[in-house]
Amino acid sequence: SGSIADYKKQGYELVTDGYPADLTFDNDDTTDQNFTVHLKHQLTPVNPTDPQTPGAPINPDEPDGPKWPT
Residue range 25-45, pLDDT digits in tens? 777 888 887 778 899 998 888
What Rg value do the Cα atoms of the chain yield, rounded? 17
Number of domains in the chain: 1
Q: Rounded to the nearest 5 degrees, what angle is found at the Cα of 28, between the Cα atoms of 27 and 29?
A: 105
- Residue 15 domain-assigned? yes
Q: Is the pLDDT of residue 1 over 60?
A: no
Flag whether 67 is in a domain.
Answer: no
Q: Is residue 26 part of a domain?
A: yes
Q: Of all residues in the chain, what percent carry a pLDDT higher than 70? A: 97
CB of 54 within 8 A of CB of 70? yes
53 occurs within a structural domain:
no
For residue 19, the enclosing domain spans 4-41
